[in-house]
Amino acid sequence: MRIAIGSDHRGFQIKGKLITLLTADGHEVEDYGTQSDQAVDYPDFAVVVAKRVADGLVERGILICGTGFGMAIVANKFKGVRAAACCDEVMAEMCRRHNDVNVLCLPGDLIGDRPVGDLVRIWLATEFEGGRHTRRLEKIAGIEKVELT
């Protein structure tokens, strides 16, 4: 799978670990920064990854900031992007199963030293259930088409 990944300074260490894990698992990873633990603004990185997903240039995106919330807010501004902040395996599985989430947002400050690999692997492996959930995603797609004045 082709995966775009980005983080701010609070997710930098986890991003590096995930790139190693994803590459070892055979995924093609596009790293969009940041490249150090120096303070940066998370929207700058969320925009690049979300745009890659929205344009269909990658299948999935992973974003990491302190809580995951800011990255999710930015990513969800892009048509066709469904981003969710997850901090455990159950959330990662359910966001895929019910919401077909294509951008996983991780909380660097809350994950800490816990192994994040299992969470990401579950998210990547879980299929969208379809069924009643498809109807709901179609409603979301309809909302994206509405021009707000």
Residue-wise burial string across 80-114, b where 16 or more C-beta atoms lie within 10 A, e elsewhere = ebbbbbbbeeebbbebbebbbbbbbbbbbeebeee
Q: Is residue 98 among the annotated active site residues?
A: yes
87 is catalytic: no
At 118, phi and psi to the nearest 5?
A: -65, -40
State the amino acid at position 85 in one-letter form: A
* Residue tagged active-site, from 65, 86, 95, 105: 65
Name the catalytic one among 9, 87, 98, 133.
Answer: 98
Q: How far apart are CA 88 and CA 67, in angstroms?
A: 13
* Active-site residue set: 65, 98
